[in-house]
A and B are shown apart, each in its own frame.
Chain A
Amino acid sequence: DAGVIQSPRHEVTEMGQEVTLRCKPISGHNSLFWYRQTMMRGLELLIYFNNNVPIDDSGMPEDRFSAKMPNASFSTLKIQPSEPRDSAVYFCASSLKGREKLFFGSGTQLSVL
C-alpha cells in the first residue's frame, strides 16, 4: 500500500487566495483526521471523519476553514481566504475506526505570504 498520500507537498500562496489541500487515505481505512503543526501550537486536531461523516470539527480555527470527504478515498481541506497565520504543516492521517493506530501522510507545507 502506498500509505496516506497528501498533495501538494509544498504550497506557497499570497494572502487572500484560496488554498486546497488534498488527502487520499489508506484503502480500507474508515477514519480520517486533519492535523495542523506549528512551532507555537504543536500538533492540533482540526477535524476528523468516520465513514466520510465529520464527527468533530471543534478544532477548525474559524469559518475560513472547511473540510470535505466526498468518498472513502478522498478528502480536502480548504482555506478561503488564506492568511499568513495559516502558514503551517498540515497532516492528514487515517486509521481503521476504533483502532487507535494512525497512519500519517508526509504533510503539506503551507506558506501564506
Chain B
Amino acid sequence: AQSVTQLGSHVSVSEGALVLLRCNYSSSVPPYLFWYVQYPNQGLQLLLKYTSAATLVKGINGFEAEFKKSETSFHLTKPSAHMSDAAEYFCAVSGPGTGKLIFGQGTTLQVKP
C-alpha cells in the first residue's frame, strides 16, 4: 500500500521568504513522487516529479524537491515566495508504471505582502 502525509494543512510565508512544504511517503515498492498545484476553481497541475533518477528534482516556477529515502520524505521548496504562489499544493505517490496517484491531504500556501 502507498500513502503520503503532508505536514501542515496551512503554511503562511511573507513574500520573498523561503517556502517549505513537507511531505512524507509510505510505499512498499520504490515510489514515484509528485507535487501538484491547484489554483482556485481549477484542476491540478504538475509542478515536478521524481521517478528514480536524480534525487533533487527541479520543477516549474522555481520549485524544487529532494527525495530522501532515509527520511521517506519529498519536501517542496522555493527560495523566494511570490504572491502568485498562493495556492493549494498536493504531494502524491504512485508505484512505477502504474499511473495510479495517491494524493496527500494538501497544504494551502498563503503568501503575505
Question: Interface of A with B (CB < 8 Å)?
Answer: 4, 31, 33, 35, 42-43, 45, 48, 50, 55-56, 91, 93, 95, 97-102, 104-107
Task: Name the residue among A35, A43, A101, A104 with the largest chain B CB count within 10 angstroms.
Answer: A43
How would residues 28 to 47 of chain B score, 1 for a CB under 8 Å from any chain A CB and 0 otherwise? 00001010100001111110
The 6 closest A-B pairs by CB, nearest first: A104-B43, A43-B103, A42-B105, A104-B44, A31-B99, A98-B97
Residues of B7-63 whose CB lies within 8 A of A: 32, 34, 36, 41-46, 49, 51
In the bound complex, CA of A45 to CA of B34 (Å) = 15
For A33, list chain B residues within 8 Å (CB).
99-101
Let me know if B43 and A105 touch, CB within 8 A: yes
Task: List chain A residues, Cβ under 8 A from B100.
Answer: 33, 45, 48, 55-56
- Asked if B90 is at the interface of the complex by the 8 Å CB criterion, the answer is yes
Known contacts: A100-B32, A101-B49. The answer to whether A91 contacts B103 by CB under 8 A is no
Contact of B106 among A43, A48, A95 (CB under 8 A): A43
Q: Which of B45, B90, B99, B105 has the most CB of A within 10 A?
A: B99
